[in-house]
Amino acid sequence: MTKERVAHIKRETSESTIDLSIDLDGTGESSISTTVPFFDHMLTAFAKHSLVNLTVRASGDTDIDVHHTVEDTGIVLGKAIAQALGDKVGISRFGDALVPLDDALAQAVVDVSGRPYLVHSGEPAGFEFHLIGGHFTGSMVRHLFEAIVFHAGLTVHVTVLAGRDPHHIAEAEFKAFARAFRKAIAPDDRVSGVPSTKGAL
């Protein structure tokens, strides 16, 4: 695998402006500014644990809600992942991870399948209503995964197996996804062509 797996996408709507760059073969370096502090924290964790280099500059109508800025960043991140992956030749394709964070435990399984599908379960009742860091609603975790998965063409299962603290639960989910994603996109020297019996992903 010699081709650079990078992408740079800008997207502007009446609700948000996103400028995002990604390098799938990075070292986990990131520069994140979305005006939503907890979201910055989660994207930084994603980059660190997936070993992608990620730069994000995002702004939007957060005076109304963080929803548009978070969702639109997820859309752009998903598109950038798809673009950087290219033809997917030589990748491992599948990845899984089990990540604890104190009281929380999350599992993620990723298939770079070309078929967008998310199975997301296990968050405790009321998690979706909790304001994490005073800005980021718990419901945005699932919504962000939906945006990434749909636009990147990934099949992803995320399961919360344990957890009490909303911050810990969300962070364990992001780190588990990052670790599984890292394995799935990793080059595999034993793979010839695309890892699918169909010959395409």
Query: What residue ranges define each of the domains in the chain, with the CATH number in brackets?
Result: 6-185 (3.30.230.40)
Q: Could you tell me the pTM of the whole model?
A: 0.96
Are 68 and 60 contacting, i.e. CB atoms less than 8 angstroms apart?
yes
> Residue 3 phi/psi, 5° resolution?
-70, 135
* Residues 6 or more apart whose Cβ sits within 8 Å of residue 200: 114, 194
Average pLDDT, the chain: 95
Instruction: Strands of the chain (E only): list them.
Output: 6-12, 16-23, 30-33, 53-60, 94-101, 104-111, 117-121, 131-132, 136-137, 155-162
Residue 161: the pLDDT is: 98
Give strand pairing partners of 109. 96, 157
What is the Cα–Cα distance from 138 to 130, expressed in whole angstroms?
5
Averaged over 87-111, what is the pLDDT? Answer: 97
- DSSP category for residue 157: E
pLDDT > 60? residue 1: no
pLDDT tier, 2 (very low <50, low <70, confident <90, very high otherwise): low
What is the Cα–Cα distance from 32 to 178, expressed in whole angstroms?
16
In 3-state terms, the chain is what percent helix, strand and coil (to 5)? 35, 30, 35
pLDDT tier, 3 (very low <50, low <70, confident <90, very high otherwise): confident
To 5 degrees, how large is the angle CA 94–CA 140–CA 9? 65
pLDDT > 90? residue 104: yes
* Residues 6 or more apart whose Cβ sits within 8 Å of residue 195: 88, 91, 92, 93, 188, 201
